[in-house]
Chains A and B, each alone.
Chain A
Amino acid sequence: MLDAIDKTLLKTVADLEGLPKGAYNIRKNGKLLSRQVSANIDIESNADGTGIIVTVKPGTQNESIHIPVILSQAGLYDVVYNTFIIGDDADVTIVAGCGIHCGSSEPEGHAGIHEFQVGKRAKVIYVEKHYASGDGRGRRSLNPTTRVFLAEGARAEMELTQIAGVDEANRVNEADLGPDSMLLITERVLTDGEQSAVSTNNIVMKGAGSRANMISRSVMKGNSKQIFYATIDAQNRCFGHIECDAIIMDNGTNETMPSLKAGHPDAELTHEASIGKIANDQLTKLMSLGLTYDQAVNRIIQGFLK
């Protein structure tokens, strides 16, 4: 059922050696490949068959859901709409990811539109990795959209990673925070060659006492380009922070636009942004510990994107 390429893609995007434990839904080339539900987690196809609805029962503790997507069919652009309904007081980890293997000159792509409705006091960790491989010269594009709605006291931690090989990425993250909820987004994107990636983030702080922290780490190698937009719109007493750092290697370029809107007198919003080459003192320090220049560069980038 899983061939060698599938296995490699699954290992890379979802850390899976084979089929996962717990609930899972594996989608291959636009079709369901394999699915398993658990006592507390239900997965069903949505009405028009364009994606899945994952429902987590209230109070579910320490369970995981794997929903990887693999693409290895030339010329396919797969669009999927997934909805996650996380019950009150649940605590779950969702591992998503898309691996593309492109063996021809035809383009391949995936757009995952993921919506999260996180119940009161529920906690969700969402891990998403994007990766493309293959010798084909077809363009590989990944255009994910993530929409998060956090109820009172809910908490979401989102780790969004684009590892390598993706020619074009256009990511949109939207979040709507209820009272005392908390959102932590960490986005890591590595581009190389002629690749480009755009990330647009809109975080709306609606509830009193909500907290948001958006961290972005970008590395541009070759002639690649990344653009990062992040807006925190504070409509209540809240705390929001944007931290975006970009490391330029070779001839990469970057535009970073953090934006803070305080629509409430008790909003506390901060941002820090930096773009530049690897700092010389970091390189010198690692070389003084015995690493060569190239090893030091790799080690610094590896840590930065960790």
Chain B
Amino acid sequence: MLELKNVYFTIPESEEREGGRRSIINGINYVFEKGKFYAITGPNGSGKTTLAKLIMGIYPLSQGTILFKGQDISPLSITERAKAGIAYSFQQPARFKGITFRDLLTIATGVDDERKLLEILGRVGICPLSFLDKEVDARLSGGEIKKIELATTIAANPALAIYDEPDTGIDLWTIGPMVSLLKKELAERRTTTIVVSHNRAFLEAADVVLIINSGRIVYDGNLEGAMPLLDDLSVCTYRDSCEGERDAGCYR
């Protein structure tokens, strides 16, 4: 349902290396199947979030094609991709002034009927009703805003839901129910689910674990098979070139 073909994303080099371009995503080819749960993991700076943002259209592709339900969505805007059925849950959700959780839900669903909004709240389960008229502003805690982010993503009934580190700021007791909620949505609506996470709870829940390193997919398969590589990636691979004070380009 989602196919990445030869996807590259490069950015201009830092000033000291003038003129060149640095690859963040380095030629990814992959097919995501409908109704499956994917967990994308890998070291910090490996390109996980960038890949997720390329799918949503937040960053433009430098090269390659993205097909969604058979349609080339590469030239489409964020808005058009949202309307095509992709939803995105941000790692650091935006905070507003004067916009409430109710407003965001209404924008996401087109529903402003109180009863239907309450139904949606019931469905996403993790938000007390008192949340509905809370302003999505700087006063919300990190955990509260992530719950709101998750709820607006689910409420949009997307065909493809992308969650970037949904557990950031969430307490330990909420992660289990959050995983169950995503699995329930997947089971009932066949929502193709992509979660970018380091959290073992999401890796265990996933049908497929993808490991990204240096902008490439270096593994796809079950968690068991991923474990040796995940252990290995925790070891510094730049040791040979690292010269202590000088930057070896490991980006850690």
Let me know if A288 and B97 touch, CB within 8 A. no
Which residues of B from 88 to 125 have beta carbons under 8 Å from A?
88, 90, 92-99, 103-104, 107-108
B79, B96, B104: the one contacting A287 at CB < 8 Å is: B79
A residues neighboring B (CB under 8 Å): 217, 245, 279, 281-282, 284-293, 299-300, 302-306
Let me know if B94 and A289 touch, CB within 8 A. no
> What's the count of A-B pairs with C-beta under 8 Å?
63
Let me know if B96 and A290 touch, CB within 8 A. no
B58, B95, B152: the one contacting A289 at CB < 8 Å is: B152
Q: Bound complex: CA of A290 vs CA of B79, how far in Å?
A: 5
- Known contacts A281-B90, A281-B92, A285-B90, A290 near B107 by CB under 8 Å: yes
Would you call B56 an interface residue if the criterion is a C-beta within 8 Å of the partner chain's C-beta atoms? yes
Q: Bound complex: CA of A288 vs CA of B164, how far in Å?
A: 14
Let me know if A291 and B79 touch, CB within 8 A. yes
Let me know if B98 and A303 touch, CB within 8 A. yes
Closest approach, in angstroms, between the C-beta of A221 and any C-beta of chain B?
Answer: 17
Chain A residues whose C-beta falls within 8 Å of the C-beta of B184 in the assembled complex: none
Closest approach, in angstroms, between the C-beta of A218 and any C-beta of chain B?
Answer: 12
Contacts beyond the supplied A285-B94, A286-B107, A290-B82: 12 A-B pairs with Cβ under 8 Å: A245-B97, A288-B88, A289-B82, A289-B152, A290-B83, A290-B107, A293-B77, A299-B107, A300-B96, A303-B99, A304-B96, A304-B97
Q: Bound complex: CA of A66 vs CA of B200, how far in Å?
A: 62
Would you call B208 an interface residue if the criterion is a C-beta within 8 Å of the partner chain's C-beta atoms? no
Let me know if A281 and B108 touch, CB within 8 A. no
With an 8 Å Cβ cutoff, the count of chain B residues facing the other chain is: 24
B79, B93, B98, B103: the one contacting A292 at CB < 8 Å is: B79
Chain B residues whose C-beta falls within 8 Å of the C-beta of A304 in the assembled complex: 96-98
Q: Bound complex: CA of A293 vs CA of B82, how far in Å?
A: 13
10 A/B residue pairs, CB under 8 Å, sorted by A:
A217-B97, A281-B90, A281-B92, A285-B94, A286-B107, A288-B58, A290-B107, A291-B79, A291-B107, A293-B77
Let me know if A289 and B98 touch, CB within 8 A. no
Let me know if B97 and A303 touch, CB within 8 A. yes
Closest to B84 in A: A290
- Known contacts A287-B82, A288-B88, A292-B79, A300 near B104 by CB under 8 Å: no
Chain B residues whose C-beta falls within 8 Å of the C-beta of A281 in the assembled complex: 90, 92, 94
Let me know if B108 and A290 touch, CB within 8 A. yes
Let me know if B78 and A288 touch, CB within 8 A. yes
